[in-house]
């Protein structure tokens, strides 16, 4: 899954793709580099970020979703707003990627249930502005798993079958440094929920804390490729990355090793 952030303030690429034509060209190049799925988002979820009005979010993302879907590309919409999810699905998005797992907007699960789109439910304990206030765990893997299981049950109760549900452990969301590594180590326990698993480590702070807080993007992309390969080996269905070639290469090397 290649990341297309149509935002002024995402933490590693904010402002680069705010112009729809630039975002569309970027998405096409991610596709050409080997991304099977393009994740279009119009609201930054970086720690401390303020919410964006759905109207503004939709002005950013809908032209991009519409253009990519009309070219036959598989698009996911990264949003916590049901109105944006509905509009993006109408414009051709096939997956609704909600980092809040349907908790931020009480209408989200119904919006997806009414469509034939898939939904990715992220592990989330509160908005970006306050996310580290909730980073208290006894058993991080057990708690992430139990909280995701509740979200899966809520989605099923809303009428979305498990075959259309993807779970995501929400790396960096309400988790500090080592809690992210513990969560990644526990991926096989999430995979046994019986849903596809999506993992997003790309360029995140916990990687920089491991390789060097001043690590530039190229070094963070290499670290991302390593975690993405390990996630794939632990059963992930998809990995969400900014830099597609590095992760594709790493996956090809790992596949050759295993073959
Ligand atoms: N992380 C971010 C945004 N969207 N979606 C999913 N499913 N999983 C993630 O880990 C995730 C996400 C934050 O990263 P960005 O600001 O670099 O896009």
pLDDT band at 47 (very low <50, low <70, confident <90, very high): confident
Q: Where are the domains of the chain?
A: 2-258
pLDDT band at 220 (very low <50, low <70, confident <90, very high): very high
Check residue 190 and give its pLDDT: 95
**Does residue 127 register a pLDDT over 90?**
no
Contact 16, 52 (CB under 8 A): no
**Does residue 8 register a pLDDT over 80?**
yes
Check residue 133 and give its pLDDT: 82
Specify the pTM. Answer: 0.96
Residue 202 alpha carbon to ligand 1 centre in Å: 8
- Residue range 216-226: average pLDDT? 97
Question: Any bridge partners for residue 166, and if so which?
Answer: 120, 196
Residue 114 alpha carbon to ligand 1 centre in Å: 25
139 phi-psi bin (left φ>0, alpha ψ -120 to 50, beta other): beta
2-258: what fold? Answer: TIM Barrel (3.20.20)
- Most informative mutation of 15, 99, 103 for ligand 1 (most atoms within 8 A of CB): 99
């Amino acid at each position: 899954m290649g990341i297309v952030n149509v935002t002024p303030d995402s933490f590693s690429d904010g402002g680069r793709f705010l112009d729809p034509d630039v975002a569309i060209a970027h998405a096409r190049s991610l596709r050409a580099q080997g991304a099977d799925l393009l994740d279009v988002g119009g609201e930054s979820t970086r720690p401390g970020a303020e919410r964006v009005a759905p109207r503004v979010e939709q002005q950013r993302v809908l032209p991009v979703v519409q253009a990519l879907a009309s070219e036959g590309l598989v698009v996911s919409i990264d949003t916590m707003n049901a109105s944006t999810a509905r509009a993006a699905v109408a414009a051709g998005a096939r997956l609704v990627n909600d980092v809040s797992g349907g908790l931020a907007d009480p209408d989200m699960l119904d919006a997806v249930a009414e469509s034939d789109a898939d939904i990715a439910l992220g592990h989330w304990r509160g908005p970006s502005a306050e996310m580290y206030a909730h980073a208290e765990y006894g058993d991080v893997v057990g708690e992430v798993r139990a909280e995701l299981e509740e979200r899966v049950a809520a989605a099923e109760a809303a009428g979305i079958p498990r075959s259309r549900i993807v779970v995501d452990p929400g790396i960096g969301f309400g988790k500090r440094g080592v809690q992210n590594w513990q969560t990644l180590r526990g991926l096989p326990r999430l995979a046994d929920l019986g849903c596809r698993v999506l993992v997003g480590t790309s360029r995140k702070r916990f990687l920089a804390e491991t390789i060097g807080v001043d690590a530039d993007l190229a070094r963070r992309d290499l670290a991302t490729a390593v975690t993405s390969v390990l996630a794939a080996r632990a059963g992930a269905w998809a990995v969400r990355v900014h830099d597609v070639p590095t992760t594709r290469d790493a996956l090809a090397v790992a596949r050759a090793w295993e073959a």
